[in-house]
Structure 1
Amino acid sequence: MQVRQWKQTLSGNIFVVSLSVADLVVALYPYPLVLTAIYHENWIMGDLHCQASGFIMGISVIGSIFNITAIAINRYCYICHSLQYDRMFSLRNTCCYLGLTWAFTAIATVPNFFVGSLQYDPRIYSCTFAQTVSSYYTISVVVIHFLIPLLVVSYCYLRIWVRVIQVKHRVKPEQGAKLKPSDVRNFLTMFMVFVLFAVCWAPLNFIGLAVAINPVKVAPNIPQWVFVTSYFMAYFNSCLNAIIYGLLNQNFQKEYKTILLSLCVPRLLLVETSRYATEGLKSKPSAAVTNNNVAEINV
């Protein structure tokens, strides 16, 4: 039973780690170039860096939404189809799903090179997707990269909410469904990640859709501050996920406190590391990855 619970938690956490990687990608390469462009008030790094920066930023954005979709499907299967979950999300299958997620991300980003849509935009000091290059391509991007994943994730979380309510009020007691407190907390955490992603990215996508439908009339009439605000609002979303984890997950809260204390008093980091190592030797392997998984109760 403990091994089974550990595998279930691991398969779900793999996609969370993948989402974190997608969020971090932009900080390693595109953002430093944006800061350089802001400092010089122009792009001075050449076309190669412009194309590479735009491509990596696209990988990060599309990778985020595809990973959020994968997380929603994973949570839906875990809560609504628990009997088939172990077979569907074995460690091997989960790794395959993860590989497909990033393969689809790369495939969805590559067409930008053929359309020529990765261009420098002086309004935001970034090399990014230009919405006015091709109306059909812009509509395809909004539909495939935003609207369809939004519908899939909304369906998954709606079914999860219904399931949680059914278990709480024992609408279907014959199924004997049980949810741990940690299951509900983890679901709420990822639900908030999805909601904030949708809120942060919706303005930019709707602007792109409006521009694509009528580029001649709409594009010139969009105030610069609206576009700039929607753009930086979208990319600020990458910073929010870590805050959500810290606010809603007890394990993250504990680790954040340890990191902050270690920055103030480096000696505490060595003490904590030594204590965890000692406890790990004395205790048996735990079934759960997070300390939220304490007890199984009916919600």
Structure 2
Amino acid sequence: NIFVVSLAVADLVVAVYPYPLVLTSIFNNGWNLGYLHCQISAFLMGFSVIGSVFNITGIAINRYCYICHSLKYDKLYSNKNSLCYVFLIWILTLIAIVPNLRIGTLQYDPRIYSCTFTQSVSSAYTIAVVVFHFIVPMIVVTFCYLRIWILVLQVRWKVKPENKPKLKPQDFRNFVTMFVVFVLFAICWAPLNFIGLIVASDPANMVPRIPEWLFVVSYYMAYFNSCLNAIIYGLLNQNFRKEYRRIIVSLCTAKIFFADSSNDIEDRIKCKRSPLITNNNLIKVDSV
């Protein structure tokens, strides 16, 4: 599914650039990589987060159309339309993150050794971010999955209208996988977003009242979510498990192959005999 690939790209964005810089900051006990890297790191973190939210929303709508409106699905989600939807998701993500550069909300926070979105810079913008980039998408996703669960229960209890198409076991497993992805995303990101709403209500008074440990835990719990999706796919999807095994076996086989090849070369060198002394060589020696 192209939407799952797009979500995986959103998760990989933070692993490629921001996370290594955060580790460097932790080891150096502070940020010493300059302003430009700070802005790029914070921008990519926000880009990844909002991209994940919008992709999860797109996946939920896709599953809702596929299961609850399957007769219209092929027309709505042709290959061309699906590519356009994914492209639209990333365009909206870019539009959503760009205002941070103008408002100046991307700053270094010593509590978490990261350059990230600073909730106390602009109350109005922080509220807008939480509402439009978290609460509204979560409401849309919740609606889609509730409708799907209703249909699933109707199928199980055999109270589904006859004109509705049957739900295949594979479709149900895929739905459960993406539902778990959504639930874990909501659990991991809810604390940090609620802290943002509290801070935005009165930054001057509320920032000192938020315990530092609570903010740090909520922040790292939120960004740890990017590592969970691959685990969920492996646990709940048989195809992913097969691919994981195939990759691991291929890597191990390649390692053993190269090790055996190197040993064979060494053995051949050790066992290689010295050239035989020919009669010509003897003649030359005698002549000398």
| Range class of TM-score, shorter chain | 0.7 to 0.9
Indicate yes or no: 2:99 matched with 1:140. Answer: no
SS of residue matched to 2:207: helix
Indicate whether 1:220 and 2:208 are aligned.
yes
- State how many pairs are aligned: 258
Distance 1:203 1:77 in 2: 30
Structure 2 equivalent of residue 50 of structure 1? 38
RCO higher in structure (CA 8 A, sep ≥6): 1
Q: Aligned partner of 2:58: which letter?
A: A
Correspondent of 2:181 among 171, 183, 193: 193
Q: Does the CA contact (< 8 Å) of 2:70 and 2:165 recur in 1?
A: no
Contact kept in structure 2, 1:262 and 1:268, CA below 8 Å = no
Query: Structure 1-normalised TM-score?
Result: 0.84
Structure 1 counterpart of 2:271: none
Aligned residues of 1:54 and 1:118 also touching (Cα < 8 A): yes
Q: After superposition, what is the alpha-carbon deviation per residue over 1:220-253, rounded to whole angstroms, capped at 9, x for unaligned?
A: 0111111000000000000000000000000111
Cα drift, residue 16 of structure 1: 0.2
Say yes or no: does 1:248 pair with 2:236. yes
> Which stretches of structure 1, 4 residues or more, deviate above 6 A after TM superposition?
267-270
- Are residue 130 (structure 1) and residue 121 (structure 2) matched? no
Against the structure 1 CA distance between its residues 120 and 68, is the aligned structure 2 distance closer, same or farther, given a 3 Å change threshold? same
* Contact 1:167–1:177 under 8 Å retained in 2: no
Distance 1:121 1:219 in 2: 13
RMSD, aligned CA:
1.5
Runs of 5+ consecutive residues of structure 2 not aligned to the other structure: 259-288
User: Larger radius of gyration, structure 1 or 2?
Assistant: 2
Which residue matches 1:90?
A: 78
Equivalents in 1 of 2:218, 2:136: separation in Å? 20
User: SS at 1:242's partner residue?
Assistant: helix
Q: 1:180 aligns with which of 168, 177, 182?
A: 168
User: 1:45-81: per-residue Cα shift (whole Å, max 9, x none)?
Assistant: 1111111111111110000010000000000000000
Q: Is the 8 A contact 2:42 2:106 kept in 1?
A: yes
- Indicate the percent of aligned positions where both proteins have the same amino acid: 68
**1:180 Cα deviation from its structure 2 partner:** 1.1
Q: Secondary structure at the match of 1:98?
A: helix
C-alpha deviation, 1:176, in angstroms: 4.6
Cα offset for 1:147? Answer: 0.1
For residues 77 and 45 of structure 1, do their structure 2 counterparts lie closer, same or farther at Cα, with a shift above 3 Å needed?
same
1:151 to 139, 160, 163: 139
Counterpart code for 2:14: V
**1:152-185 per-position Cα deviation (integer Å, ceiling 9, x unaligned):** 0000000000011122223234215211111000
Report the TM-score, using the length of structure 2 for normalisation: 0.87
**In 1, distance between residues paired with 2:121 and 2:100?**
10
Question: For residue 204 of structure 1, what is the aligned residue in structure 2?
Answer: 192
- Structure 1 residue 238 and structure 2 residue 213: aligned? no
* Structure 1 unmatched ranges of 5 or more: 1-12, 271-299
Deviations 1:97-133 (A, max 9, x none): 1111000000000000111000000111111000000
Structure 2 Cα separation of the partners of residues 124 and 269 of structure 1: 44
In structure 2, distance between residues paired with 1:52 and 1:179: 45
In structure 2, which of residues 69, 73, 79 is the aligned counterpart of residue 81 of structure 1?
A: 69
Separation of aligned partners in 2, 1:162 and 1:14? 26
3-state SS in 1 of match to 2:194: helix
Query: Which residue is equivalent to 1:289?
Result: none
Q: What residue number does 2:286 align with?
A: none
Cα shift readout 1:164-220 (whole Å, capped 9, x = no counterpart): 112222323421521111100000000000000000000000001100012122110
Whole-angstrom distance in 2 between the partners of 1:15 and 1:42: 37
- Distance apart, 1:258 and its partner CA: 2.2
Given that 1:51 and 1:127 are in contact with CA atoms closer than 8 Å, whether structure 2 keeps it comes out as yes
Paired residues of 2:61 and 2:144 also in contact (CA < 8 A): yes
Q: Which residue of 2 aligns with 1:29?
A: 17
Secondary structure of residue in 1 paired with 2:208 = helix
Contact 1:203/1:230 (8 A) holds in 2: yes
- Tell me which moved more, 72-81 or 208-217: 208-217
Tell me the residue number matched to 2:155.
167
Counterpart secondary structure, 1:127: strand
